[in-house]
């Protein structure tokens, strides 16, 4: 090694060890992403200690038919089987978190959107819980991918809270599915801090976009992809090693 390089290297090493850990410059390190109009939504269990058995980490979002144009949002363990969604809205709407997340189905294809019950609405069977559905229509405005500058990409709602996955009986089938719910945060008046309200037996998840190809619409479709925006998405959500990207 030339002397100069060796000196610089030794100096750099000495310098690094002299700086206390807290003041070292943090270089942002985020998982690499791609751009695509289509994506599947993959569940990331955010608190692995509360994961379900079997684990639902990496399961994908689909809708199950429960009536005309009505679908409960559930997770499937079959990798690659998730519905293909797109982020709909004008560029400005999407930028300000005022878009919605749509998918197409039927013949001719019509749009369905991710619907999240508001804080005052409740599931018919589990009145303490706020249901998530994939019903015909525009979806809940504001249920969208995180707008910039957030470096991670996942589905957010207008009010603070988290999506959760719960084993629940679906009356239409009288069968248990891993259903998706939204758990709104409340405020602790004593500490003035937000409090998570994860329903009994559920685990908190984020729904992370995994890039996929948005199918072309046939002539005569009711759906339109004219306002389907490009979304930042990950190539393989389950392969992301989160600790590597910690703060």
- List the one residue from 33, 34, 46, 147 that touches ligand NAG (CB under 6 A): 46
Binding segment toward ligand NAG, per CB under 6 A, in 45-53, 58-66, 72-80, 124-132: 45-53
106 vs 128, beta carbon nearer ligand NAG: 106
Least distance CB 198 / ligand NAG (angstroms): 15
Contact 74, 43 (CB under 8 A): no
Q: Which of 171, 174, 181 is nearest to 202 (CA)?
A: 181
| Cα 204 off chain centre by | 11
Least distance CB 51 / ligand NAG (angstroms): 9
Contact 84, 128 (CB under 8 A): no
152 vs 184, beta carbon nearer ligand NAG: 152
- Measured at CB, which residue is nearest to ligand NAG? 138
**Residue 227 sits in the site that holds ligand NAG (CB under 6 A):** yes
163 vs 177, beta carbon nearer ligand NAG: 163
45 vs 52, beta carbon nearer ligand NAG: 45
The C-alpha atoms of residue 55 and residue 79 are separated, in whole angstroms, by: 13
Least distance CB 70 / ligand NAG (angstroms): 16
47 vs 176, beta carbon nearer ligand NAG: 47
Q: Which helix or strand (DSSP H or E) is residue 92 part of? A: helix 91-95
Rule CB under 6 A: which of 170-209 touch ligand NAG? 206, 208
Secondary structure of 78-130 in the HEC alphabet?
A: CCCCCCCEEEECCHHHHHCCCCEEEEEECCCCEEEEEEECCCCCCCCCCCCCE
**Other beta carbons less than 10 A from residue 79's beta carbon:** 15
Least distance CB 44 / ligand NAG (angstroms): 4
CA angle 161/190/51 to nearest 5° reads 35
Q: Site residues (CB under 6 A) for ligand NAG? A: 44-46, 48, 88-90, 93, 102, 111, 138, 152, 154, 206, 208, 227, 242
């Amino acid at each position: 090694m030339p002397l100069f390089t060796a000196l610089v290297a030794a100096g750099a090493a000495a310098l690094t060890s002299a700086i206390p850990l807290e003041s070292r410059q943090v270089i942002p390190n985020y998982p690499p992403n791609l751009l695509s109009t289509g994506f599947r939504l993959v569940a990331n269990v955010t608190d692995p200690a509360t994961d379900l058995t079997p684990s639902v980490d990496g399961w994908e979002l689909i809708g199950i038919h429960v009536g005309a144009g009505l679908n409960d949002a559930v997770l499937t363990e079959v990798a690659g089987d998730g519905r293909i969604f797109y982020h709909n809205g004008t560029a400005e709407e999407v930028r300000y978190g005022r878009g919605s997340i749509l998918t197409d189905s039927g013949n001719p294809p019509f749009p369905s959107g991710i619907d999240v019950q508001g804080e005052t609405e409740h599931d018919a069977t589990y009145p303490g819980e706020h249901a998530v559905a994939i019903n015909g229509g525009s979806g809940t405005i504001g249920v969208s991918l995180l707008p910039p500058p957030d470096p991670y990409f996942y589905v957010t709602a207008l009010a603070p809270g988290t999506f959760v996955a719960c084993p629940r009986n679906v009356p239409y089938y009288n069968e248990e599915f891993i259903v998706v719910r939204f758990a709104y945060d409340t405020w602790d008046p004593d500490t003035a801090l937000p409090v998570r309200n994860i329903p009994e037996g559920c685990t908190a998840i984020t729904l992370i976009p995994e890039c996929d190809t948005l199918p072309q619409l046939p002539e005569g479709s009711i759906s339109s992809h004219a306002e389907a925006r490009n979304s930042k998405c990950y190539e393989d959500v389950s392969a992301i090693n989160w600790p590597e990207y910690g703060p």
